[in-house]
Amino acid sequence: MFGKAPLHPVLPASDLDRAKRWYSEKLGLEPVREDEYGSAEYEVGGATFLLYQSAFAGTNKATAAGFRVDDFDGAIAELRARGVTFEEVDFGEFGSTVDGVITMPDSDDKAAWFKDSEGNILSLSRMG
């Protein structure tokens, strides 16, 4: 039933105008649709996500959504140039981030985590 249904992340924002500016300035994304409540839908890599008003923005302590990119190092550099700060994370036996980035043992896979203006945790990764 759900195997062919697209997954549509939904990210809360306590200040929609601030969040829309952040997604535009930091990630270069613009809404493709907005509704009468100010919610904004974005298209990224063939998928969509929704940014909506919520008093609970930033309360999730886990990754809310992630971007997989081919040029990880280039994406990291571009985001840093736009003022994005990467989180330092300790994964115990799997290792820790160094300067905000973790390289997986025995592979070239890399990942990094950062927060949007509303405190939602987003990831950037290159896998395989």
Model confidence, pTM: 0.92
Return the sign of the alpha-carbon dihedral for residues 63, 57, 89, 92: negative
25 pLDDT tier (thresholds 50, 70, 90): very high
The pLDDT of residue 52: 97
Q: Domain residue spans in the chain?
A: 10-55+62-126
Closest CA to 15 of 119, 125, 109, 102: 119
10-55+62-126: which CATH topology?
A: 2,3-Dihydroxybiphenyl 1,2-Dioxygenase; domain 1 (3.10.180)
Tens of pLDDT, residues 64-123: 999 999 999 999 999 999 999 999 999 888 889 999 999 987 888 999 999 999 999 999
The pLDDT of residue 62: 95
Q: What is the mean pLDDT of the chain?
A: 94
Mean per-residue pLDDT for 25-35?
97
The pLDDT of residue 4: 86
